[in-house]
Structure 1
Amino acid sequence: MSTPPQQPPSSPQQPAQPPDQPPVIPAQQPQAAQPPQPTAYPYPNPQSPPQNPYAQPTLVNQPAQPQQANPYAVQPGYGYPPPAAAPSGGTNTAARAVLWAAVGAVVASAAWAAGLFLTGGFGDKADLRGYTAPANLCSGADYSSFKEEYPVDDSSPTKNAMKDPALDESVCSLSLKKTGSSYADAYLSILVDLHKKTDPGPEFTAAWKNYGDSHTDYDVTPVQGIGDEAYLVTQDTSNGSTTSGSRYATLAVRDGWMTYTMSYSAYLSSYESDTNPPTLDEVTGWLKSDTKATLEQLKG
């Protein structure tokens, strides 16, 4: 709300001043106090004009004008403060302080960048260790250990491949058949991922090491001697039966930024009554042997 104009107070006639004395300037009317403007600049605003002691006084019969915000004033948190203007005929103390502040900021930025470089903050190079993701993983993988139990080849396995600047991936899914079987007795799935932008290590460990926490009735066992880390995940719901339930096993491996899984699953109801399905110990042995052979082939 603006203040209504004030009437000029009546005052007695001012006596004439001697000619050799400077004129007496009437005192300015007090202005409404303005709250200080926030700023990240620690020194007086160089763009604010100096106060003129001989400026004309504000007319008392005019309402006080609100102070206009400086559109060029430095706002908190945005960039560096502008260099201070050198005072006429004096030492540029403020300018030198700002110069040293700017130099300090450059040095700090250089140290920050060097730290990121040393710690890999700008992005690590993918550690693929010579692995490839073939277009046809079904022909590029080794699963010969399963051939004695399942000698019949799958005539139409499912295979897919993808290449992207961030990820190369190959997938193979095939049916395992015993001699004389009309339908699949078991299934084998193989997956290889080449992570080219991000290190899969932490997420791989979290997902497979804790698989039993997120999936009910699965056993997780660390495996030594394959890649940087490997986990064997198994489940057997047959309860000793050879005609009901299922058996499942997956060997998951990480070697550098390459991840690999080979998974086996069998539904025992599909087996003939006079045959016994392989035990989990047999299956896990096949998975370990064929995984080692496949990883060697994927490096070639």
Structure 2
Amino acid sequence: MRVGFIGECMAELKKVNGVLEEGFAGDTFNSAVYLKRTFPQLDSYFVSAVGSDALSKEMFEFAQSESINTRFLFTHPDKHIGLYKIYTDAEGERSFTYWRNDSAAKCLMSQLTDSDKASMTALDLVLFSGISLAILNTEDLPKFWRLLETLKDSGTKIVFDMNHRPALWKGRDDATALYEKAFEIADVALPGLEDFNFLYEFETVEEIINFLAPFSFKQLVIKNGSSAVTLVNAEGEVSEVGLTPVTNVVDTTSAGDAFNGVFLGAYLTGDSPEACVDKAAKCAGFVIQHPGAIVDKTAYADLVTSIA
């Protein structure tokens, strides 16, 4: 099966044992990597654009080294990839400084030909996020919505995670207007209570369920930090899956990204929603015990063996 991840991958700078290290990461890209590492039988495509600079070429090669299909990873002749630095506090909570205003990924839609769009209809599932929406050039958003509608009409399942980043938006209303449009088209939604609390001041999962009731999801997955994950199926039946909290938290940078990638991989390979959450939570719990967004491949292989 073919899974597409739409978004942006940037160069990542982080301190490890006092030394500044370079890597590559981005929310949907991280999900693409964790899906492929955990479910190698699935084809993981990253849908984005990079530049023609040396750093962009390194990122392209890194994607290939992770067995990510680069058919839809385009090269913009005049742009470059973005850059960010992670700052992590004693509790593992992170903050970021970004340099991404001239990122090639903002111009993704101008790089897609009609032939590319037709080829994308072969994807079985596509994930995009609030970050995917926020970085696109405003004038390209209508093209993006039309692309998603075309994919959905062709049978591709559409998945959306808000993953809200306030710094990327002019204001809350700008973000929520696009998020609600995304919910209209999504077959699967993966929101978090933290985002709804920030945007709508919701305090409970029940408020989220009520707010999203008018939308038609095949599966709703509501994340709430280390608390239970709430599942709502197409019939509106609600269930919870408890999580085992991790005590040795090092870096929470891509906990949600890892969760999404493994959840979707398990979902596509036929696991029950509860089993999908269990595998995804184990992956996220492992990832946050390591620095950076994408953990060492060898160490991660041991986790894959344990959850297979």
Quickly name the TM-score band, shorter chain normalised: under 0.3
Q: Which has the higher helix share?
A: 2
TM-score computed with the length of structure 1 as normaliser = 0.28
Larger Rg over CA atoms: 1
Q: Which has the higher contact order (CA 8 A, sep 6+)?
A: 2
